[in-house]
Structures are given as C-alpha cells and as structure tokens.
Structure 1
C-alpha cells in the first residue's frame, strides 16, 4: 500500500469513528426528543453539503461519501422512529425526498439496506418492548410515506413483508 492510500485509509477510519460518536452523542439524543426533534434540519444541511461536495473535484474518497449517506439514513430512521406516526413531523422527513423542482429522488444509495436493517431490528425487538413497538409503527409510517411519493418503491415496499 502506498503512502497516499495509507493516509486515505487512516482518514476514513477516523471519519468512521467520528460517525459513531455523532450517532450516539448527537443523532440519538436529538431523535429521542420525539415529535420535537430537529434532525430534519440537520438532514437538510447534510443533503445540501453532500451535493455541493460531490459535484466538485475533491480529495475525498468514495468511502467518505458512503459514510455520510449512511449517517443521513441513520438520522432519517432514528428521527422517524421517534416521531408519532400521525404527526406532521413525519411529513417533514419526507419533504427532502422531492427536489426543488418537484423531482423525486428514486436512487438513494444504501437507503433500502439501512431501512431494512432498522426494520428487522425494530420488528425483532417490538414484541418485548412497548417503546420498540411504537418505534416500529412510526418507522412503518415513514416508509409508507416514502413509498407514497415514489421513493425506492420496490425495495422499501418489501419491508413489511420480511418479518
């Protein structure tokens, strides 16, 4: 492995560590605020920054972008699990699925896999925990909203069939 590759690998490992800390210390804590959580604002900012960075030539590796995408979906999932299924906050989370000109995002890398993993975990834990059952219901609502606006219909539509 050459020096540049080693540096890149080290930077990616550091970025992954930072991601774990952010999830535990920031995203989970904010999501736990329930209907009042503001992760949707953080998601808006991440989407904007992600688009700007990806469009420009940069020193960032594809691994850097993958970490950010997984963090974005983590925020979506954590937030949706804590916002009541009938609360307008659920709609705010979906709003960023449509572009500024009404185009729907349909190819969202890693979203399906991350939602499936969260779904399986929620379904597994729901029978033993009232809070888990509520989070499962809330996640189901968010997934249904995504599908209703045409986001990853085939992949996300499978979630409810896989338990």
Structure 2
C-alpha cells in the first residue's frame, strides 16, 4: 500500500467517479442484496441459477466499488497552473490533423482512470498522447502506434 499507483485526473473526472461510486453504493448494492434475498427464498442454493447470477453480480459490483475507492483515494488532480501552458499536457484538449490528408481529430488528454476514446478522452499512456505531450501548436509529430507510424500536425491546444 505504500507505493500505490497514483491516478492523474481532472477534477471533473474525479467528480464523475465519485458520482458513480455513490450510485453503486446507494442504488445498485441494495438492489443486488434484495435479488440475493429473493433467490435464497427459492430453496436449494446448489441448483439456483438466480442466486448464482446475483452473487456473480455482487462480486463484480464490489470489485468495481473497490477499484473506484482506490482510484479516488489515489487521485492526483491536475491543477489550473499545470494547464496554463501553450504545450500539450495532461488535461489539455488537442486538435491535430494526420498528414498528408487526414481528417482533423480532437482529443482531451486525461489520466488512464477517466479515459474514454468514444467521448474524445484519451489516456496519457496511449501512444498518441505520449507522442503529443510536450509539443506545441504547429509542431509536426511522428507517432508510433500499434497500427503503424503516423505523422500529425498540431492545429490547436486548449
């Protein structure tokens, strides 16, 4: 526990996790407890699929609660001072264009705990973010990705 992993994240990301944790504890946990109680009333637990299913859901839920509590406890919030820079850093939104004729793409670089590429949030551990961090608007950057190398030009940073 001494060297627990730190989770860099935005304040909004931490708040979202806290809301999910509260939802799991206040709503989902009691629902599963009730499902287990009802399934127990059916009798023989060794052949009770409802009971087995509810217990599996409970184990998954408790694992998620534990994970969220650990990430929240070890959160490192990205401060405004760290964002007041003209270079790509954690918490910044970057717009770039793949060369020679790719489409513009925009992503916000966040900690791995709040990454969700479908929502435009990429992890600072991702190949694209690693290639962009420390760069500035106008830079042409070669990025090594699992799908092959790509070259991008940074169009904007907010």
Q: Same fold (TM over 0.5)?
A: no
Give me the TM-score of the superposition, normalised by structure 2: 0.26
Q: Which has the larger radius of gyration?
A: 2
Instruction: State the TM-score, normalized to the length of structure 1.
Output: 0.26
More helix per residue = 1
